[in-house]
Structure 1
Amino acid sequence: MILYMGVQLCVPIILWKSKKNTVFFSSIPTVIIPYILGAYYFIEHARQDYGVEVYIEEIYSYILLLGVFSYIMAYVCGFYSHNILYKKFIEILHILAPGNICNVLKGTEVLALISIVLFVISFIGMGFVPAFAENVMAAKYMSGEYQELYKDFAVTYRSALVIANLSVILLLIKLAVANGKSKMICLLLIVVLVICLALTMRRSQIFAGVFAFLFSFMAYKKKWMFGSFVVGYLLIYMLGSAGNAFFFYMIGLGDEPELYDVIRGMPDVQDQLIFLQHWINEGWSPTMGTNIVGGLIPFHSEYNLSALTLYVIGVTPGEVSSGGFRLPIPLIGYISFSWIGVILVTTVNAYLSGVVLSLVKKYTENRSVEEFIIINAIMIPSIIGPITDIMTGISIDVCLKLIVVVLLFLVCNYKMKFR
């Protein structure tokens, strides 16, 4: 397990040793906390508390070990092969890339206001705000009694989340170049958007846009400044991992937080072992790739990968305060096409990821910091990123973000063309 995650973390930085390689730096805490630290805590915990058997751990290890070899070869091949796929990605970026950064920034305030209005409509329409709901965790995941209230406003709520993260990045860019009144407006909108995101209780959403901006921005700073930022990012991530423990302690419903709460906040290893034991012991059949499009079916379809992980362990999505389990790529391959899927899915995913890393390296050469931020933090994750993750499932949120970003850049280029 540690070998697979270590390889997944280190291969990108070995191929491209640069501060601009945010693929590597942004994934440091997502590997160290749940897998490297979590391995020592949760494997024993899974045995004692959930009865995970040794042979399940062995199968889990074999799946990840097979994934290691597939990942390394495919990623390296993808990075160095400038084939037709690479050229098509370049063409897409050339078509959508704004000819003038200012054109993109002009409509930023309007985009932010749209997001805020959508949040207000969603909160009023649903009749609750997750952060102030009676059952905070159920409201966060829109489960239990909150599920029916959420259904009619799912599109507006999810659109608000997507547009808010995009707006935060653009507002931060504009904040850096704006003056006087415009700077104050940008700052005010950023604060309001962060508050709106915080009210959703989704930790990954709250500062996603802020960190996407900062990683790209700090890549242009001195090494010691960038290094200090990465360390700070890791510490903040650790604090966020223990966020629930701190929250419940502050409202008087939990004990004083401990260091182990950081690890407990990301029980990925334990979840995966429990899931795999149910999958094997109960004789579940491979999905045959239905999880690729399952995320496009709303409201807990059995083809949705996140929902499937809950169905497998005997839990009905929507009735529990959980969004499902995060599975590593090789394990997704295993449940999709059995053992051949471990190689197939890992290879395709790694190859496409290698192509994208090479694309980022080439396409961001000699760019200004503003251009780099837009390309690295918005365009590639939103437009090209979904293609790299196609084997792990396409979600409604990913499609919404893709549509918003493509429309934004097409409108900007259209205005410039006919000016």
Structure 2
Amino acid sequence: MDTFLIFLSFSILTFAAYIVWPSRFNVLGHAGAAASFIAIVVPTFILHLPEKAPADIVGLYTNILVLGVISFLPGMIAGFNVGKYMRTNFSFDIMEPDAYERRIIKLTKILLLVGIVGLAVSYAGMGFIPMFAANPIAAKLFRDQYQAPYYRVAVIFRSSWFILTTIIPIACIIWYKYRSKFFLFATLVAVTLMIASLQRSGAFNGIVFAFIIVMAFKSRKHFVILMVVLTGIFVMSSFFYYIVGVRTFDTDRDIWEVIGESSPDIRDQLQFLEFFEANPEYTYGRTIYGGLIPGHYKWNPAVYTLLIINPGRDINELESGGLRLVVPLWGYVSFSWPGVVVYSLLTGLFSGLFLGMLKSMFKRYQSIIIRTTALITFGSIFGILAGFTTLTFYMIPPAIISLFYMYRFRLK
């Protein structure tokens, strides 16, 4: 029963957006829905991970998830019903659609060039490219001997990275609509530079997101094809590090274990909860702002999760970017059971508010470029609200970039 409830809880949290807005235009839910096979089905019903964990931990984990879902859904429904009646003073609500689209194209071209040059300069300044480094994983995380060279260009690298991850979907849609050779070539160069960093999600998310938008907007038939293709993409992404040669594939391993490793959330969360229960260290909300403090601050969400499962270890010795915890679990380790309710309720409220505003915008504007820009900019701003449980300074640059699309700063 616990395994089924874990599966059901994750499924509801994943598909909750469809409950309030059951439409193929609700593109934000499509990627999560396609990834659910790897993230939910594989660990629960194929690898049977909950059955391999201690029974008391699994029972506690199940109760946390169920209470989280019960709290999350009312918040999302309420937020959605408020958001769909809200209006903004953003550029796309003030400027004429054609004029605003021209502005988007001009701004995206400038930012694309800045991002490409910035990444190229960063690699040259560091003196290495993670994909071709002697220790690719350490280089990807900028640890050990790769840390000092990275610090020399950290500001340029991160700024360029966030510019590109934010605007790549918009650039792809501009190419799709106008078949612009500039945007095709520049996007390919940008994505190639990003792949070289071995940051898999950042490199591919923008293209996948643009593909989702195009297919979802075409027709119901294309939407069905999209979901099948997306599921295949997520399965194939499990083999990314093997394809680029960072890892060596062991033919004796179960193929499902390899696939499950690409989305180890349930396994990691059960392990985390076991360590936490053995030595509870509540955050009392400090991980809300901990990610905004540079360095290995103790209450940075990534640092906190790693230290919990590696007690006494030096954080610099751990080759990991931290664990992803589901919102109800963050509530539990922050304020125990009241935290589960409050964190889940507020996350649902902000997520629903964003979806409601987005649906209203989609009704008013038919341009695929304007719709895509609204998705990106709204997502960057409301992502901070919906992701308040684990804010990081990585959320700030996309939000700042989005302001240039949302407000009318003069471009010379």
- What is the TM-score normalised by the length of structure 1? 0.88
Distance 1:104 1:95, change over 3 A: closer
Cα shift at 1:96: 7.8
Report whether the alignment pairs 1:375 with 2:380.
no
Cα shift at 1:325: 0.5
Q: CA contact under 8 A between 2:377 and 2:406: conserved in structure 1?
A: no
1:174-200: CA deviation from partner (whole Å, max 9, x where unpaired) = 313436xxx222211011001011001
Report whether the alignment pairs 1:8 with 2:9.
no
Superposed, 1:123-162 pairs within 5 Å as 123-162=123-162
Number of the residue aligned with 1:263: 260
Match of 1:305 among 301, 304, 315: 301
1:327-383: CA deviation from partner (whole Å, max 9, x where unpaired) = 00000101111111001100100111111111111121142222111112x111112
Number of the residue aligned with 1:214: 211
Number of the residue aligned with 2:3: none
Superposed, 1:333-344 pairs within 5 Å as 333-344=331-342
Distance 1:386 1:175 in 2: 29
The one-letter amino acid of 2:327's match is I
Structure 2, unpaired ranges of 5+: 1-5
Distance 1:283 1:3 in 2: 27
1:42-68: CA deviation from partner (whole Å, max 9, x where unpaired) = 554884xxxx42211111111111112
Distance 2:196 2:118 in 1: 13
Cα shift at 1:41: 5.2
SS in 2 for 1:207: helix
Number of the residue aligned with 1:254: 249
- Mean CA deviation greater in 23-32 or 324-333: 23-32
- What percentage of residue pairs aligned between the two structures are identical? 27
SS in 1 for 2:22: coil
Match of 2:40 among 35, 42, 51: 35
Distance 2:374 2:157 in 1: 26
Cα shift at 1:82: 5.0
Cα shift at 1:154: 2.2
Distance 1:318 1:215 in 2: 38
Number of the residue aligned with 2:391: 394
Distance 2:229 2:92 in 1: 37
Structure 1, unpaired ranges of 5+: none
1:58-109: CA deviation from partner (whole Å, max 9, x where unpaired) = 11111111112111222222222359xx74xx32545887642111211322
Distance 2:93 2:296 in 1: 34
Number of the residue aligned with 1:205: 202
Distance 1:94 1:108 in 2: 15
Distance 1:174 1:22, change over 3 A: closer
Distance 1:414 1:267, change over 3 A: closer
SS in 2 for 1:399: helix
SS in 2 for 1:81: helix
Q: CA contact under 8 A between 1:382 and 1:405: conserved in structure 2?
A: yes
1:273-308: CA deviation from partner (whole Å, max 9, x where unpaired) = 111111110132x11111111111122211111111
Distance 2:118 2:8 in 1: 44
Cα shift at 1:121: 2.1
Q: CA contact under 8 A between 1:118 and 1:157: conserved in structure 2?
A: yes
The one-letter amino acid of 1:386's match is I
SS in 2 for 1:364: helix
Distance 1:173 1:167 in 2: 10
Q: CA contact under 8 A between 2:377 and 2:405: conserved in structure 1?
A: no
- Mean CA deviation greater in 365-374 or 286-295: 365-374
Q: CA contact under 8 A between 1:98 and 1:409: conserved in structure 2?
A: no
Match of 1:317 among 309, 315, 318: 315
Distance 2:405 2:356 in 1: 25
Q: CA contact under 8 A between 1:122 and 1:153: conserved in structure 2?
A: yes
Q: CA contact under 8 A between 2:350 and 2:382: conserved in structure 1?
A: no
Number of the residue aligned with 2:402: 405
Cα shift at 1:219: 2.6
Distance 1:12 1:107, change over 3 A: closer
Number of the residue aligned with 1:240: 237
Q: CA contact under 8 A between 1:310 and 1:316: conserved in structure 2?
A: no
Distance 2:114 2:343 in 1: 38
Distance 1:129 1:211, change over 3 A: same
The one-letter amino acid of 1:209's match is G
Q: CA contact under 8 A between 2:174 and 2:369: conserved in structure 1?
A: no
Distance 1:39 1:148, change over 3 A: farther
SS in 2 for 1:219: helix
Cα shift at 1:212: 2.1
Superposed, 1:96-115 pairs within 5 Å as 99=96, 100-115=100-115
Distance 1:228 1:41, change over 3 A: closer
Distance 1:299 1:175, change over 3 A: same
Q: CA contact under 8 A between 1:334 and 1:342: conserved in structure 2?
A: yes
Distance 1:329 1:268 in 2: 12
Distance 1:144 1:230, change over 3 A: same
RMSD (Å) for aligned C-alpha atoms: 2.4
